[in-house]
Structure 1
Amino acid sequence: MLTGCGSLPGLSGDNEVTLRVVAADYGDNPQNTSKGYWKDLAAGFEEEHPGVKVEVSVYSWSEVDAKVAAMVKAGKAPDIAQIGAYADYAEADKLYTAEELLSVQTEADFLAPLADAGKVKGDQYGMPFVASTRLLFYNEKLLTDAGVLGKDAKGGWQPKSWAELEAAAKKLKAANVQTPFALPLGREEAQAETMMWLLSGGGGYTDNEESYAIDSAENVKTFEYLRDKLVGQGLTGPTEPGKLNRQDAFDAFTRGEVGMLNGHPTLMKQAAAKGVKFGMVAMPTADGTEHPTMGVADWVMAFKNGHRKESGKFLDYLYESKNVTAFTNKYDLLPVTTSGFRAVEGSAGGSSAQLRTFLTALPNSRLYPAGKKSWAGVSEDVKTKIGKAVQPGGQPEKVLEDIAASARAQDGGR
């Protein structure tokens, strides 16, 4: 785990520089591990840049953030890390900015909302690696049998408002569907399900000035709706939302037990593999008008190890369109660059055609406030507390005020 072989900072000269890269594994079995992608990428880069070696270590998502944190603590930070969060390292002045690393062309190629989400105090430290958005999935057969969809299901179902969503859920319940609408507010991804609902209710985790606004009037109304109209009317199935995890909801959908739920691109493959015919639409909103959807990004960052020039060249190579789409196509994820976006838009057939539904939502999406050092703690608070807001007799205002007070305290009052 040693850095370059005696090179001067930022120069490769006659001495070979070794870039150490740590990345997360997006595969779910040994056959589709991300190691193959990074091995090919490193080999291609080394061929074009003699004098620079690239060593990549790939770890599972459950351990990669902790591995990087331990390396940093030991004074042996990698040159480049592809992980889940960057704000802590940026606040500690351990990272190069995107401007210090990337060519003008590469920096300008990032989709605007993703580039903005990578900023701390106006400077971009987090470079988006891959992204996804969320859509409302529905089971075509269950909705047809319940009379929500016509028998031919042509044109699909296009609900615009929560009222339409609720009406469909009631029909599904009347048709004895076990879970008309799955509402996973369990630990696994409660912060995502929460954000989807907050945005569709006209709110969000932050206001337009990026200060926390978790306890806003709009957010309180959103959770009162979930408590009274979905949970309170028995439309969310047998498992209490605060105890329902995302993957358990996905599994139930693939078994044909769930009429509707919010999902990301991974669910397309899982449902198709089980023979479930499904449709995907934008999340309906409180009043039927268009609101931003939720986007999620994972991040790349470069540590100040004296290899700024070499790291920048490697990152320029990483973000070439062919390399971006090679990764996103493999894992049914969304590209983070305009050039990658156009490449997916222009492809035909297979999962690429379905991915375009997610892709169209990406340019206007809102992301977690990942530039806030406090976000990790706030996300944990949401995971452990938000389920109580939708219980019968739950107090959304009190729960949201509690989370908001803690968030502001962690964020220095903002």
Structure 2
Amino acid sequence: MIYFDNAATTYPKPEAVYNKMDQFYREFGVNAGRGAYERAKKGAKLIEDTRSKVASIFKAGGDKEVIFTPSATIAINLILQGLDWKDGDVIYYSPFEHNAVLRTLYKLEENYNLVLKEIPVNNLTLEFNLVDLEQMFASEKPRLVALSHVSNVCGVIAPVEEVVKLARKYGGSILVDGAQGAGLVPIDLSEVDYYVWTGHKTLYGPFGIAGVVVDKKATNLTPLIYGGTGSASEEREMPIETPIRYEAGSSNIQAIAGLNVALDWLEEVGSKEVFEHEKKLTLKLIDILAEFMDINLFIPKDLDTHFNVVAANFSGYKPHEVGKILDEKFDIAVRAGLHCSPRVHEFLGTMPNGLVRFSLGCFNTEEEVDKLKGVLDSFLI
């Protein structure tokens, strides 16, 4: 199989991840932090070591806290449902948001009478209009700005630093959904209140471990989940200490072990080198797809603001038809449809069928991209 669906999850994983997770339950299969015996203590140490490695890869200083969650969706819900909302609070969001953000915002709008405003973006060039955005902020000050770091449909890299400066000017907080691009696409987290990441995508780890890098001044969230934390069990309330206040229940220590070695691998290979490899392949893919008159690409005009996701429609074919042909006839995996991001497709005018998405990863090769050209030649004649 040629795998061009890395935006869903990177595949394959580094060999060290497979080896560590296979080994894990044989040697460390106990409940971390829930006992004073040696293996439980080793498990707790592994959690804290991994927490430090996550902070390191994001260059998160001592004013930041790393909270673990089972998925990026749960991390987003922890933040959005944990804030102390007031009637009429204004939330700004980009047209590139995933349903993990959008559906949560719609529910909060219903529950708290919030005001949702979309950040202005040019639907042809996919450029953010920061001048108009500042005018919007001046008119209706933001309580929160929710911003997808990298679009899972168009690969657009949001101008996070510029939006952060504007939001700060008008008293707003910032939530960045970094599920796509975390660890590879550079970002300055110094002024970001909440940065969500997941282990199974651009960090090349397993499913089951994700989280949020939180500004310590912003850790006044109401917990999303209540339960055991392994300490202060006699107390009726959740501990006030972070991060355990937000990590009730047994930790997915196997997934944490896999992420731990994935982060070691990424440091050894070099996140910059992985980024540049994926960027090079993406540019090659764009050049190949652009050769076909029957293919229309949905990518930003400025490719410096683009990363590893290329969405397209094919004249005469519905997206799912292209996906089926590539899979059944050529063993090529792509993602067709709405990509859990319907607002993007409304914005692009590609509802209700969506687009065909190609997304590249570290283990893709130039030969695979070249093979795609031959495949497209064979059925787009």
TM-score (norm 2): 0.27
Q: Who wins on radius of gyration, i.e. which is larger?
A: 1
Name the one with the larger helix percent: 1
TM-score if structure 1 supplies the norm length? 0.26
